C-alpha cells in the first residue's frame, strides 16, 4: 500500500514539473521509465522473449542509420551525443512498454490516478499562468531574482518583473497537447464516474483548448485542431480518416522538400493571413530545401543544421519583402525537413517507414481505442512538423514521455480501467 501511495505522489510531482518546467523532460522521462521498468524486473521470471515488431525494427534501423550518419556530421562528437540519447530513449521506452503488461492492476491504477491528478493540478496552474500574465512565475522571479535567467522576455521596472512574454510557455503548452489525448483515454476508463465521464472528458478538452488558444504557440493550436478533426473522423468515418492520416504522413515525410519550394515560389512568405512565425518558416524551409539538393541521398549529417547556419549567417541576405533572412535557421522547425537535410533520402525513407508501422499498430487496436490513439498520433506529428529541432534533447524526451503515456493509457483501457475484467 505504501508503494502504491508513493507511486501516486511521484506521478503527481512528475506531471507538475513536466508542464511547469518542460526543460526537465529528461528527468521526468527517467521517473516514468523507472516506475515501469521496475515492473519488468519484478516480473522478469514471467517474461518470455517476443519477436521484434515491425515498428521496433524500423526504430532500430533509424538508430543504426544515424549512428553511421553521425560520422560525416560537421561536429561528429556532438552528433554522437544526440545519437546516444536516441538509443537510450528508445531502449527505455521499449522495455517500459514491455513492462506494462506485467504491471499489477493496483499499481497500474495508482499510476494512472497519479498522472491524472498531476495533469489536472499542472493544467490548472498553467491555466492561471496563461490567462493572467504568469502571476506565479512573476512572484517567484521577484522573490528569487537569481531564477530569472535571460531578461529578453522580461519587462522589468524598478528591479521588479512586471510582465513575462507568453512565448516562455510555448514548451509547456506543447507538452499539454502531447499528453491531452492519453489523459482523456485514461479518464474514460474510470467507470465510477458513471454518466460524468463524458462531461469530465469534455471539460478537460475545453480547458486545454482555452489554454492553448490563449497562448502564443500557433503550432499547438494547429496540433489541437488537427487532433480533434482526427478524433471526430475516426468516430464518424474511421476507414477514411485512417487513410487520410496515412496519406498525410507519407506526404509530409516524402514530399516536404518540393512542398516547401512550391510554397515559397507561390509567395506565401508574403501572405498577410499567415502569422509572421509561419512566414518565417516558409522562408527557412525553402532555403533548407535548396540545401537538400547538395546532399540529397545521405544528408549533411546529424545535428549539422546549427553549425552550418552559424557559418552562413554573416552573409545571409534579407530581401525587403522577407520577414526572415535567407538562412536555414539554427534548426528546421520541422522534423521532416530536418530529416531530409541532415539524413537525406535514406533517413526520410526510414522515418516514413516508422510512421507507417506506427499507423499499422494503432490500426490494430480495438475500435473503441483508435479515435484517442490516432488523435494523439496526429497531435504529435503536427507538433513535430512545425516546432523546434529534432535533436533538442528536451524535445526528444518529450516524445518518449508521450509514447509512454499513450501506451499506459491503452493498457489501462484494455484492462477495463478501474473495473478490470
Each residue's pLDDT tens digit, 151-183? 677 788 877 888 888 788 999 999 999 999 999
Predicted confidence band of residue 231 (pLDDT cuts 50, 70, 90): very high
DSSP letter, residue 53: P
Q: Which three cell numbers stand for residue 124?
A: 490548472
3-state secondary structure of 326: coil
- Whether the per-residue pLDDT at 73 is higher than 60: the answer is yes
Q: How many CA atoms lie within 13 A of 146 on its CB side?
A: 0
| Length reported for the chain | 421
pLDDT of residue 48: 63
- Whether the per-residue pLDDT at 2 is higher than 50: the answer is no
pLDDT of residue 331: 85
* Choice between 247 and 11, residue whose per-residue pLDDT is larger: 247
For the entire predicted model, the pTM comes to 0.93
Question: Measured between alpha carbons, how far is 281 from 238 in angstroms, rounded to an integer?
Answer: 32
DSSP letter, residue 159: T
Cβ–Cβ under 8 Å, residues 114 and 9: yes
pLDDT digit string (tens) for 84-117?
Answer: 999 999 999 988 888 787 777 887 888 888 888 8
3-state secondary structure of 390: coil
Residue 30: alpha-carbon gap to chain centroid: 16
Q: Which three cell numbers stand for residue 333?
A: 522547425
* Choice between 92 and 347, residue whose per-residue pLDDT is larger: 347
Instruction: Report CA Rg, the chain.
Output: 22
* Choice between 171 and 2, residue whose per-residue pLDDT is larger: 171
Considering only CA atoms, which of 149, 138, 121, 141 is closest in space to residue 207?
121
pLDDT of residue 46: 61
Q: Which residues pair with 164 in a beta bridge?
A: 154
Q: Which residues pair with 163 in a beta bridge?
A: 155
From its phi and psi, is residue 392 left (phi > 0), alpha (psi between -120 and 50) or beta?
beta
Query: What percent of the residues of the chain are helix, what percent strand, and what percent coil, each to the nearest 5?
Result: 75, 0, 25
Question: Measured between alpha carbons, how far is 286 from 279 in angstroms, rounded to an integer?
Answer: 11
Q: What is the mean pLDDT of the chain?
A: 89
Scan for cell 527557412, then name that residue: 284
Burial of 146 (0-12, 13-18, 19+ CB in 10 A): exposed
Question: Measured between alpha carbons, how far is 206 from 188 in angstroms, rounded to an integer?
Answer: 16
Scan for cell 508574403, then name that residue: 270
**In the chain, where the domains are located:** 2-43+53-414
Residue 80: φ, ψ to 5°: -70, -25
Q: How many CA atoms lie within 13 A of 57 on its CB side?
A: 9
Cβ–Cβ under 8 Å, residues 337 and 385: no
pLDDT of residue 61: 97
Average pLDDT of the residues in 360-387: 96
Cβ–Cβ under 8 Å, residues 187 and 181: no
Amino acid at each position: 500500500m505504501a508503494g502504491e501511495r508513493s507511486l501516486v505522489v511521484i506521478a503527481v510531482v512528475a506531471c507538475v514539473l513536466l508542464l511547469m518546467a518542460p526543460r526537465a523532460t529528461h528527468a521526468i522521462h527517467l521517473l516514468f521509465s523507472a516506475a515501469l521498468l521496475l515492473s519488468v524486473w519484478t516480473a522478469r521470471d514471467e517474461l518470455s522473449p517476443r519477436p521484434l515488431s515491425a515498428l521496433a525494427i524500423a526504430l532500430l534501423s533509424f538508430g543504426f542509420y544515424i549512428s553511421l550518419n553521425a560520422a560525416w556530421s560537421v561536429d561528429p562528437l556532438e552528433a554522437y551525443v544526440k545519437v546516444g540519447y536516441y538509443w537510450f530513449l528508445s531502449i527505455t521506452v521499449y522495455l517500459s512498454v514491455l513492462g506494462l503488461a506485467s504491471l499489477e492492476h493496483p499499481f497500474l491504477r495508482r499510476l494512472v490516478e497519479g498522472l491524472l491528478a498531476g495533469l489536472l493540478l499542472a493544467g490548472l496552474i498553467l491555466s492561471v499562468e496563461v490567462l493572467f500574465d504568469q502571476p506565479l512565475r512573476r512572484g517567484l522571479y521577484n522573490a528569487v531574482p537569481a531564477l530569472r535567467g535571460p531578461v529578453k522576455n522580461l519587462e522589468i521596472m524598478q528591479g521588479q518583473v512586471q510582465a513575462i512574454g507568453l512565448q516562455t510557455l510555448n514548451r509547456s503548452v506543447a507538452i499539454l497537447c502531447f499528453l491531452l489525448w492519453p489523459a482523456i483515454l485514461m479518464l474514460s476508463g474510470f467507470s465510477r464516474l458513471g454518466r460524468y465521464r463524458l462531461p469530465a472528458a469534455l471539460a478537460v478538452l475545453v480547458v486545454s483548448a482555452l489554454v492553448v488558444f490563449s497562448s502564443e504557440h500557433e503550432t499547438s493550436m494547429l496540433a489541437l485542431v488537427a487532433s480533434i478533426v482526427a478524433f471526430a473522423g475516426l468516430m464518424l468515418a474511421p476507414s477514411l480518416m485512417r487513410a487520410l492520416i496515412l496519406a498525410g504522413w507519407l506526404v509530409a515525410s516524402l514530399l516536404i522538400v518540393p512542398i516547401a519550394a512550391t510554397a515559397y515560389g507561390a509567395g506565401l512568405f508574403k501572405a498577410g493571413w499567415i502569422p509572421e512565425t509561419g512566414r518565417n518558416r516558409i522562408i527557412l524551409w525553402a532555403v533548407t530545401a535548396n540545401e537538400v539538393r547538395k546532399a540529397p541521398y545521405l544528408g549533411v549529417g546529424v545535428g549539422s543544421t546549427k553549425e552550418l547556419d552559424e557559418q552562413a549567417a554573416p552573409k545571409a541576405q534579407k530581401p525587403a519583402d522577407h520577414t526572415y533572412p535567407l538562412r536555414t535557421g539554427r534548426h528546421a522547425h520541422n522534423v521532416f525537413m530536418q530529416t531530409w537535410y541532415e539524413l537525406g533520402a535514406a533517413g526520410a525513407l526510414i522515418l516514413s517507414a516508422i510512421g507507417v508501422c506506427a499507423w499499422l499498430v494503432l490500426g490494430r487496436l480495438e475500435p473503441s481505442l483508435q479515435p484517442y490513439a490516432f488523435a494523439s498520433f496526429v497531435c504529435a506529428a503536427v507538433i513535430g512538423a512545425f516546432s523546434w529541432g529534432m535533436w533538442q534533447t528536451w524535445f526528444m524526451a518529450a516524445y518518449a514521455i508521450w509514447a509512454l503515456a499513450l501506451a499506459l493509457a491503452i493498457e489501462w483501457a484494455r484492462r477495463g480501467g478501474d473495473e478490470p475484467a
